[in-house]
Structure 1
Amino acid sequence: MRSLLARTLLLAAAVVLAGTGTAAAQPTDLMAKVVVIGVPGLSWSDVQASPELTALVNQSHVGSISVKTAGPHTCPVDGWLTISAGTRAWGNVPDQPCGDLPAVTDGKIAGWQSYVDRQAEHHTGAPIGRLGISRDRVCGFGPGAAIAVAKPNGTVANWSPDFDAAKLASTACGDAIVDAGAMPLREGRDEARKHVADLVTQARAAGGWVLLVGVGQETADAHQQTLVAMHLPPDNGPRWLTSDSTRRPGMIQLTDITATVLRGEAKPVDPAGSEKAGPLDGAEIHFTGGLHTNAEAVIEDRLDANQRFEQPRPVLFVVALTIVGAEVLALVWFLIRRSPASRRTAVFTLLMQGGFFIAVFLAQATLWWRWPSPGFSLYAVTIGISALSAVLAQVFLKRYAYLGLALAAYLLLLIDGVLGTPMQVGSMFADGPVIGGRFYGFGNSTFATLAVGALITAGWAAQKLIDKSRVQAALAVLVIGGAAIVVDGKPGWGTDFGGIIALTPAVLLMAWLTWKGTISLRALIGVGVAGVLAVSLVAFLDYLRPPEQRSHFGTFVARLLDGDVSDVLIRKLQMAVQFFSGPAGWGMLVGVILCMLATVLPDRVPSESYREFYRSLPMVRPTLLAMSTCGLVGMLLNDAGVALPAIMIGFALPLLVAHLMASRQPATVSPESHLVQES
């Protein structure tokens, strides 16, 4: 069995790293001069409202740009500092309006040191000034461009306060950054659009290729959306912009601008000039997909994309409130009446919550963002699929309905991962481009859903085999759990570093308990070490690939070897502990601890049904302990913190309670049942 575990780990590591890459195409006619025209607040609605900008669409590779930076808002200064650093920077003071951009006095950015200090204060690791020191003869025009092209000490050279077409066309400028000014909120917006279009015309006449992008929001409290990105002239016809940092057609992020201007030539020097700066967060911009020749259709597609990215998180709260409210009412009715009807209603609402973890992904197949009232459409679709999932599970599996929901979530996410995670884009569980989180692969909420589905499915399969052979049952756990690990962790599929760190030891522990029935301290340490080695092997193999092909795994190893990992770890720790800034986080922690204790000390749980369930079948205990292990490791080592096990509980607990309520006599259920699954 030990050799089987070792071979399985090596095979999983090999599969995780195999066959990765990107479908994006590198431009073959990249001109010598790159001119970036930055316009804070430039939206696709502006393009639609401007005949001049609309006319540029069919002359450009197009897309949307995520302008999320290190701070809670992306004011113009945040955006320009991010372009300067090539990684997300923090510019504005929290809880204050954006304010004006700093002036250039005697060849230096006023207050530059305050921006340097702000990066250290917030542990951004952003080496502001990297663009200015890494690229010779880069020109700047306008106040925002001064920030972008400043040296690490804040000095500015080859800069003009206003746009100068003659200078741009001269040999004095290699590449150039142009600040076209933020879009006015109300009056003057039409004139600003015409000004932007005119700048594009003049920049193209200078002989380079032009990148027109939004670089931030106009105000700190602006409605967040993805902004405009255009690349002119197009290479081989107009297509969709993309990059290896997003791996999504039609989507780039702000840090890609720096990577594109530098073309991989960034100097590894931090603002102090004493240590190496970390790698660029972005990647060179590419194009992909088929030709587009209908400007109106392209603009409509981008406006639809904004709806797809803006609506999910607000709607998530309303959907959750609806389902939890229905559960509370149904359970109160059951506690009062204890009637068959009240029991059935309570079970259905609990199963509906389980169905929600399927609906958040399947909803993407309905193209809800193209419907009238996209927010309400998403709400209705999600509630509808949640209810339909519960109905189908009850009709076909009766009181074992939870089994169908867990298995469906497991298979659905395996398929989604292998296909490149198309159901993640715009889902309620994805940290999309507006939030600026994960652009591809599985996020924390998706991983939590996959982990619960995988462990329940593995527990059920092992239960069916355990009487015949414990070795075969343990092998079933490794195969089912291993498939989830591979899909979750493989670069280009789930690409989830934190996920496999949590799931690998949980699967190994479950397999060991299935095989042996118990575990010693020595074996427990061995399982932990095996999990660490497996994850480390995957990360190191990813690091060996070219930098532009690395995923989060290899990038982390690169930062670790460069000694640039401290800020990353501190930021992740800050993200994990931020949940405890209010009572909700502490409430989640208490709930998570109680649920974990219930899997270790079942006799202390004040529920006879649960105690009988725990002792009913051999695979109940391994399955529950594996879930607790996954949640605990994820909580301690993942930036989601307590939210990760809380999401797992949000999926698993309603299924467990629904089964216990549907089973009149949990202690007498036959070994043929699928009880284990719902653990």
Structure 2
Amino acid sequence: MAAVVAATAAAVIGVIAQPTSASAAPANPSSLLAKVVVIGVPGLTWYDVKSSPELTALVDQSHVGSISVKTAGPHTCPVDGWLTVSAGTRAWGSASDQPCRELPAVTNGKVADWQTYVDRQAEHHTGAPIGRLGQTGYPICGFGPGAAIALAKSDGSVANWQPEFDRARLASPDCGDAVVDAGALPPREGRAEARQNVARLVAEARAAGGWVLLVGIGQELANAHQQPLVAMQLPPDNGPRWLTSDSTRRPGLIQLTDVTATILKGRTPAAVDPAGSATTGPLDGTEIHFTGDRHTDAAAVIEDRLDTNERFEQPRPVLFAVALTIVAAEVLALLWFVLRRSPASRRTAVFALLVQGGFFVGVFLSTATMWWRWPSPGFSLYCVVLGISVVSAAVAQVVLKRYAFLGLALAAYLILLVDGVLGTPLQVGSMFADGPVIGGRFYGFGNSTFATLAVGALVTAGWVAQKLIDKSRVQAAVAVLVIGGAAIVVDGRPGWGTDFGGIIALTPAVLLMAWLTWRGSISLRALIGVGAAGVLVVSAVAFLDYLRPPEQRSHFGTFVARLLDGDVADVFIRKLQMAVQFFAGPSGWAMLVAVVFCMLATVLPQRVPSESYRAFYSSFPMIRPTLIALSTCGLVGMLLNDAGVALPAIMVGFAVPILVAHLIASHRPATVSPEPHLVQES
């Protein structure tokens, strides 16, 4: 059995570490040599393009896309955006409790209050080397206050800069690339005139030669509703197509740090290494290029971009409404069952609990309906997810009856396996996706998706192993390794799930479950061996990914690069801060208490005040290994993942309702024997 575990681990490493192809389209050849003129416009949305004939006219002359302007802070004010361009990684510029302020002035060749911004990076552990772009030594010209921030050196000094745009200066040989601040668009009055000014700047910049990158830089107000902003590259190479980058791996989507990587690509390699160094750290972005089919209809492109905004903006707000509806229905159904204990109340309670399990299927299948193109997208998403949740529960109950819980777990497992292999099209834009507005993840599985996959995989593996265990414990353990291993491969393989934290949590859980299936118990020595095997798998995957070229690395290889550069302290601190932020309010502590009680129930079943659960726990050999594996995965994920207690809480939200539904549905009241005198009389 140990040999089987080792062989399975080797297979997992081999499949996960297979090199993935680079983006479908090569980088623009012209971008390596031609003048690059970046025109930054805080607040430039696709609604502005739709409302402006001048900007609409640029669409068919450009590679187009949307840009995520998420930075390190809670707001993305113009200063945050320009500092992010300066550093090439997400920076923190504005104060979290203050509105967006005017950009600092340049006095005596230095950006005012520069040290404040340097201190802010240290205070919030962003690790952002602001001043990197200005240290290149390449003659990059700057125009406007935002450009001064982007091109300032590490001490805040700025050269080759002018407060106003100068077309003649831009066209001069002394001006290599250029950064132009077109000014934030005013929220209301004067916005139309500002849009015309942006179009004029684009025309004048194009006349200087090279190509122009018109991008949103940040939000004009601290409390503005964040959305992906406009990105255009003019003139287009090989016809107008869709902008993308290896950092997002999504056609039509780039991120703010890609702007820095694009300017630096091919420039002064002795001064700046795009892969990073011990002093600068790696860039968060990669060079912008194009992909996909040509587009020739400006109106259709604009509508596509507006639809995309809806797709990324609606899911998180609607998530609360859907969850509240399902939980309210569960509470009412369970209250009725507790008070009445009638067959009808029992069926209702079971179905309500199964609907919550169906929610973890509906979250992903809803994306296939393209709800964002329907009328009232937010309400449409609410109805679609609820509808799929109800239908999934009903189908599982009708087809599988008392095994309805298995149907929902199996459905989630298979859906996410397929979705991962296809590049996660169902997860992107779903309620469980950290979309470009949040900026947490542009490709691969997020924490919520991983939690769903983990529950689906472990429950499915437990059921299959139960069918095999009477015949052969070895076969049952191999089934656990195969089913769990498939989830690990899909979750962890770069280009598929690309989930570093996920395989850290799932690998030891699968190995522990397989061992318990094989031997029935585990010694301290074996437990240490299982843990070491999990660490080996994760480390091997990360190192093999690091061996790829920097632009092809995923989160795994990037982490190793930072580790070797001694640049992980800030990363660990930020991850820890993200994990503990859930305890800022009572909800986080409530989640922790619930998670701890659920974990204790898997190892101390006799202490659970439920006769049905105690009987269920000992009714089949595979129940204990499955529940312990779920707890192990949740515990490791909570301790080592930036999601903290939220990860096991999501697992509990999927696993507990379907378990309770199974217990209620399987419960059979004891038959009451008739009184002796009644028997005699009869």
Coarse TM-score class (shorter-chain normalised): over 0.9
What is the match of residue 28 of structure 1?
Answer: 29
Given that residues 613 and 667 in structure 1 are in contact (C-alpha distance below 8 angstroms), is that contact kept between their aligned partners in structure 2?
Answer: no
- Alignment map for 1:636-651 (pairs within 5 Å): 636-651=639-654
Report if aligned partners of 2:45, 2:229 keep a CA contact under 8 Å in 1.
yes
Say if 1:418 and 1:487, in contact at 8 Å, map to a contact too: yes
**In the alignment, structure 1 residue 523 sits paired with structure 2 residue 526:** yes
Correspondence for 1:614: 617
Q: Secondary structure at the match of 1:530?
A: helix
Residues 616 and 667 in structure 1, CA contact (< 8 A), matched pair in contact too: no
Aligned match of 1:356 in 343, 359, 366?
A: 359
Question: 1:462·1:477 contact (CA, 8 Å) conserved in 2?
Answer: yes
Q: CA deviation at 1:268?
A: 7.8
Give the Å deviation of 1:165: 0.3
- Give the Cα–Cα distance (whole angstroms) in 2 for the partners of residues 606 and 276 of structure 1: 58
1:233 maps to a residue whose letter is: P
Kept in 2, the 8 Å contact 1:268–1:278? The answer is no
1:673 corresponds to: none
Deviation at 1:664?
2.2
Check if 1:278 corresponds to 2:285.
Answer: no
Partner of 1:391: 394
Instruction: Give the match for residue 674 of structure 2.
Output: none
| Distance of 2:544 and 2:278 partners within structure 1 | 26
Q: What is the one-letter code of the residue matched to 1:29?
A: S
- Counterpart Cα distance in 1 of 2:404 and 2:20: 37
**1:13 aligned residue:** 13
Residue 633 of structure 1 pairs with residue 641 of structure 2 = no
1:555 lines up with 2:545 in the alignment: no
Match of 2:333 in 1: 330
> Of the candidates 108, 111, 117, which is equivalent to residue 110 of structure 2?
108
Residue type of the partner of 1:243? Answer: S
Contact 1:81 1:90 in 2 (8 A): yes
Q: How does 1:579-618 map to 2 (within 5 A)?
A: 579-618=582-621
8 Å Cα contact 2:278/2:565 also seen in 1? no
CA distance in 2, matches of 1:163, 1:465: 74
Aligned match for 1:146, one of 124, 145, 148: 148
CA RMSD between the two structures: 1.5
Query: In structure 2, what is the Cα distance between the partners aligned to 1:612 and 1:231?
Result: 65
Distance 1:422 1:135, change over 3 A: farther
Matches within 5 A, 1:483-502: 483-502=486-505
* TM-score normalized by the length of structure 2: 0.96
- Give the AA of the match of 2:58: L
Whole-angstrom CA distance in 2 between matches of 1:626 and 1:344 = 30
Distance in 2 (CA, whole Å) between partners of 1:613 and 1:339 is 22
Aligned partner of residue 30 in structure 2, secondary structure:
coil
The residue that corresponds to 2:69 in the other structure is: 67
Q: 1:28 offset after TM fit, Å?
A: 2.6
> CA shift at 1:4, angstroms?
1.3
Contact 1:431/1:437 (8 A) holds in 2: yes
Partner Cα separation in structure 1 for residue 24 and residue 598 of structure 2: 44
Q: Cα offset for 1:247?
A: 0.3
How far apart in 2 are the matches of 1:383 and 1:348?
13
Question: Compared with structure 1, are the counterparts of its residues 241 and 154 closer, same or farther at alpha carbon in structure 2 (3 Å cutoff)?
Answer: same
* 2:278–2:566 CA contact under 8 A, matched in 1: no
Correspondences of 1:104-503 after superposition (within 5 Å) = 104-263=106-265, 276-503=279-506
Superposed displacement of residue 471, structure 1: 0.5
Aligned length in residues: 666
CA distance in 2, matches of 1:322, 1:46: 36
Cα distance per residue 1:310-354 (max 9 Å; x no partner): 000000000000000000010001111111111111111100000
Seq. identity, %: 79
**Maintained 8 Å contact 2:264/2:272:** no
Partners of 1:327 and 1:399 lie apart in 2 by: 19
Deviations 1:598-618 (A, max 9, x none): 000000000000000000000
Question: How far apart are the structure 2 equivalents of 1:566 and 1:24?
Answer: 35
Q: Distance in 1 between matches of 2:100 and 2:163?
A: 20
> Could you tell me how far 1:399 is from its partner in structure 2?
1.6
- Counterparts in 2 of 1:667 and 1:559: CA distance versus 1, 3 Å: farther
Q: 1:248 to 1:137 in 2, by over 3 A?
A: same
Give unmatched runs, 5+ long, in structure 2: 672-682
Where do residues 502-517 of structure 1 align in structure 2 (5 Å cutoff)?
A: 502-517=505-520
Residue 665 of structure 1 deviates from its aligned partner by 3.7
Letter in 2 for 1:60: S
TM-score by length of 1: 0.97
Give distance in 2, aligned partners of 1:471 and 1:43: 59
Structure 1: which amino acid aligns with 2:91?
A: A
Q: Which amino acid aligns with 1:599?
A: T
Shift, 1:275, TM fit: 5.4
1:545 aligns with 548
Deviation digits for residues 433-464 of structure 1 (CA, Å, limit 9, x no counterpart): 00111100000000000000000000011001
2:137/2:271 contact within 8 Å kept = no
Secondary structure at the counterpart of residue 616 of structure 1: coil
For residues 214-264 of structure 1, what are the alpha-carbon distances to aligned partners after superposition, in whole Å with 9 as ceiling and x for unaligned?
A: 000010000111100000110000000000000000000000000000006
Secondary structure of the 2:29 match is: coil
Q: Distance in 2 between matches of 1:25 and 1:43?
A: 28
In 1, Cα distance between equivalents of 2:277 and 2:451: 41
The separation in 2 between residues aligned to 1:403 and 1:267, in whole angstroms, is: 58
* Equivalent residues of 1:613, 1:666 under 8 A apart: no
Secondary structure of 1:389's match?
Answer: helix
Does the aligned pair in 1 maintain the 2:147–2:180 contact within 8 Å? yes
Tell me, what secondary structure is at the counterpart of 1:422? Answer: coil
The aligned residue for residue 92 of structure 1 is: 94
Q: What is the identity, as a one-letter code, of the residue corresponding to 2:122?
A: A
Contact map agreement 1:130 1:267 (CA 8 A) in 2: no
CA distance in 1, matches of 2:292, 2:239: 11
Are the structure 2 counterparts of residues 209 and 468 from structure 1 closer, same or farther at C-alpha, using a change threshold of 3 Å? Answer: same
Q: Which runs of 5+ in 1 are unaligned?
A: 669-679
Q: SS in structure 1 opposite 2:618?
A: helix
Listed one character per residue, the Cα deviations across residues 291-320 of structure 1 (whole Å, up to 9, x for unaligned) are 000000000000000000100000000000
- Alignment-derived partner of residue 672 in structure 1: none
2:665 maps to amino acid: A
- Matches of 1:638 and 1:193 in 2, distance apart? 43
- Which residue number corresponds to residue 678 of structure 2? none
Cα shift readout 1:414-439 (whole Å, capped 9, x = no counterpart): 00000010011110000000011110
The answer to whether the 8 A contact 2:410-2:456 is kept is: yes
Shift of 1:7: 1.1
CA shift at 1:274, angstroms? 11
Distance in 1, Cα, partners of 2:291 & 2:574: 33
Matching residue of 1:675: none
Q: Is the 8 A contact 1:143 1:161 kept in 2?
A: yes
* Worse-matched range after superposition: 274-283 or 324-333: 274-283
Task: Judge conservation of contact 1:315–1:379 (CA < 8 Å) in 2.
Answer: yes
Secondary structure at 1:495's aligned position in 2?
A: coil
Contact 2:612/2:667 (<8 A) preserved:
no
SS in 1 for 2:67: strand
Counterpart CA distance in 2 for 1:160 and 1:594 is 63
